[in-house]
């Protein structure tokens, strides 16, 4: 099945991109209640151990891991900014997994996909480094300055056969991160640790990379790879779990 053919086949409603000023007020006191998703098969379209841990441990959800095979070859020049590029990549991942991992439709299913990038000016996008030299180059660019970490997430709810129309939701969170001035020795030592190699922007705030960070503005978990507060709100909205 084609990843981009699943939504028309399921007659899925277009992705909703929420107004977060309104959404934050509406759902500010809500959280995913224990057992609320027990009847739904949850599929995480990521092999990232950090995202798996956040979903299972922080959100307390039982989730199956089905890493996306989506080819991340979108041209950054085709998008107005880093946020739009990140959202398109997250949606591509979700579509691919929904097409490959969510049949037969014998139960309600929810696919969760995410993508994280680092941006210096809203346009320059940093993903995972290609090699150690590239990682060092990224760290030098971030040294002594502020940058944005953008995590986009795509949710696709696929009801059991005969259960109605599939629905999707697409959103992104932005966290501002301020780096200390890094010496060449610090850059070299951090790259040698191996930690930068599988992380957007070449650092992990939850590990040794946290020592490079002076401060953040926004969601910490967004920098780790999944904004769990926003994700909870969006799952609640998508599935109609709002408290009366």
How far is 116 from 153, CA to CA, in rounded Å?
9
Pair of tokens at residue 195: 């930690």
CA 41 to chain centre: 19
The DSSP result for 121-138, as a single string, is SSS-EE-S-SSHHHHHHH
Q: Which of 57, 78, 115, 131 is catalytic?
A: 115
How far is 42 from 62, CA to CA, in rounded Å?
7
How far is 124 from 118, CA to CA, in rounded Å?
8
Q: Are 135 and 195 in contact (CB under 8 A)?
A: no
Angle, nearest 10°, between helix axes 184-192 and 132-142?
A: 140
How far is 8 from 180, CA to CA, in rounded Å?
48
Does 115 qualify as catalytic in the annotation?
yes
- In Å, what is the CA distance from 145 to each residue of 45, 142, 165, 212, 214? 32, 6, 46, 11, 10
How far is 85 from 87, CA to CA, in rounded Å?
6
Query: Could you list the active site residues?
Result: 115
């Amino acid at each position: 099945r084609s990843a981009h053919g699943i939504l028309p086949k399921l007659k899925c409603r277009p992705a909703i991109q929420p107004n977060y000023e309104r959404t934050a007020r509406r759902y500010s006191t809500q959280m995913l209640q224990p057992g609320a998703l027990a009847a739904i098969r949850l599929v995480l379209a990521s092999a990232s151990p950090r995202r798996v841990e956040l979903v299972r441990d922080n959100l307390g959800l039982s989730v199956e891991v089905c890493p996306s095979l989506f080819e991340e070859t979108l041209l950054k020049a085709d998008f107005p900014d880093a946020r739009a590029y990140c959202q398109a990549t997250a949606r591509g991942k979700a579509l691919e997994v929904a097409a490959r991992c969510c049949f037969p439709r014998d139960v309600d299913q929810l696919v969760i996909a995410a993508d994280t990038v680092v941006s210096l000016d809203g346009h320059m996008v940093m993903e995972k480094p290609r090699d150690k030299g590239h990682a060092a180059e990224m760290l030098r660019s971030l040294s002594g300055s502020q940058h944005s970490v953008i995590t986009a997430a795509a949710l696709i709810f696929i009801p059991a056969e005969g259960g109605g129309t599939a629905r999707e939701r697409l959103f992104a969170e932005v966290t501002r991160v301020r780096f200390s001035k890094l010496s060449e020795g610090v850059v070299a030592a951090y790259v040698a640790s191996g930690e930068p190699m599988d992380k957007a922007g070449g650092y992990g705030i939850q590990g040794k990379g946290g020592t490079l960070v002076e401060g953040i503005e926004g969601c910490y978990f967004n920098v780790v790879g999944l904004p769990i507060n926003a994700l909870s709100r969006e799952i609640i909205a998508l599935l109609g779990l709002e408290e009366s």
